[in-house]
Amino acid sequence: MEEEVAEAMDRIDPRGHVMYNGERWVAVSEEPIEAGETVEVVGKERMVLKVRGKG
CA distances (Å), 55 to each of 22, 31, 40, in order?
23, 12, 10
Domain limits of the chain? 5-44
Contacts of 51 (CB under 8 A, 6+ apart): 6, 8, 12, 18, 27, 28, 29, 33, 39, 40, 41, 42
pTM reported for the whole predicted model: 0.91
Cα(first)–Cα(last) distance of the chain, in Å? 19
Confidence of residue 1 (pLDDT cuts 50, 70, 90): low
pLDDT tens digits for range 15-47? 999 999 999 999 999 999 999 999 999 999 999
pLDDT above 70: residue 52 = yes
Q: Which of 8, 1, 55 is nearest to 29 (CA)?
A: 8
